[in-house]
Amino acid sequence: MVYKLVTELSNHHPIQVICHALEISRSAYYEYRRGLSYQVSEEKRKLIGAMQKSFADHRRRYGSRRLTPELQEQGYSVGRHQLRRLMRREGLRAIQPRSFIPRTTDSRHNGPLSPNLLADSPFPAAPGCVLVGDITYIPLVTGEWAYLAAWMDLYSRLIAGWQIELHMEESLVHEALKKALLRRKLNPNAIVHSDRGGQYIGKSFRNTLLTNQIQQSMSRPNDPYDNAFMESCWSRLKAELLENGAFRSLEDARTELFDYIECYYNRKRRHSSLGNISPEQFEQNYYLMLNQNLHS
């Protein structure tokens, strides 16, 4: 329990400082020392055990907002405020991503740019209507950088295709797009949206769009919020996977990213914008509802 940790650390640090750092009540700690703490029931002990297990299973990536439906599905009657108090008491603090800091894209190239087709369009009502893409830097312990490109289905937040290499040339985003197209058939006149980077104006990339009857869309000049969904995805990915660290090598990064994206992010990770279910479950619910409507 976190109170035992306070006792252990109190030989070296002021109790006030320790309680503040651990986000627990100093008065509650003193009650614990006097033996006046609330005695936890067997039901509450089971809830705490399940909370700790789920927190560990998700590798400290879940806070109270996502742990609450996780535990409710397991049959526990618990609200978010109650769970937040329990997490604080047990010293469970979820990984927090850095705030979204917009950055502009270097679009100093002579290639023709595409208009922003998302600016006045309604949010997609089905999978396969809009893919949004971007590139981010991935640190390696060698001091080098790897570059990760991905395409996300805007409807479900599912990462449909991704590629990581030691360069950020056109082939990086093109290979990621081809993987996305192998994974799913886009709807007629689907939109592929990105920033104004030079990788997205390449001949091979645009030929693939043309062959698949896909419309190209680009962010407006100096407006990184036009691609905020991908920026938010990168922020969460780096916080939950890297925690300010670095990968040993490109192959190490590729293996870890596969585990995070394909096994966790798409299949298990709950998204508040999706009603606290995973991207894959969100899409399955859509097709289930569509099938029911067709046969009703």
Please count the other Cβ atoms lying within 10 Å of the Cβ belonging to residue 170: 18
pTM listed for this prediction: 0.70
Give the per-residue pLDDT at 117: 93
Q: Rounded to the nearest 10 degrees, what angle do helices 15-22 and 26-33 cross at?
A: 120
Q: Which two tokens stand for residue 48?
A: 């705490």
Q: How would you list the strands of the sheet with 159-165, edge to edge?
A: 159-165, 145-153, 130-139, 191-194, 215-218
Give the per-residue pLDDT at 104: 37
Query: Cα torsion for 280, 95, 31, 48, to the nearest 10°?
Result: 30
List, for residues 56-89, the tens digit of each pLDDT value. 777 777 777 778 888 888 888 888 888 888 888 7
59: left (phi over 0), alpha (psi -120 to 50) or beta: left
Beta bridge partners of 130: 191
Distance in angstroms (rounded) separating the CA atoms of residues 153 and 282: 12
Of 296 and 79, more confident: 79
Counting Cβ atoms within 10 Å, is residue 202 exposed (0-12), middle (13-18) or buried (19+)?
A: middle
User: Which domains, ranges and CATH numbers included, belong to the chain?
Assistant: 1-90 (no CATH), 130-294 (3.30.420.10)
Residue 95 has pLDDT above 80, yes or no: no
Residue 102 has pLDDT above 60, yes or no: no
List, for residues 243-289, the tens digit of each pLDDT value. 778 888 999 999 999 999 999 999 999 998 899 999 999 999 999 99
Q: Which residues contact 222 (CB under 8 A, 6 or more apart)?
A: 104
Mean pLDDT of 94-120: 66
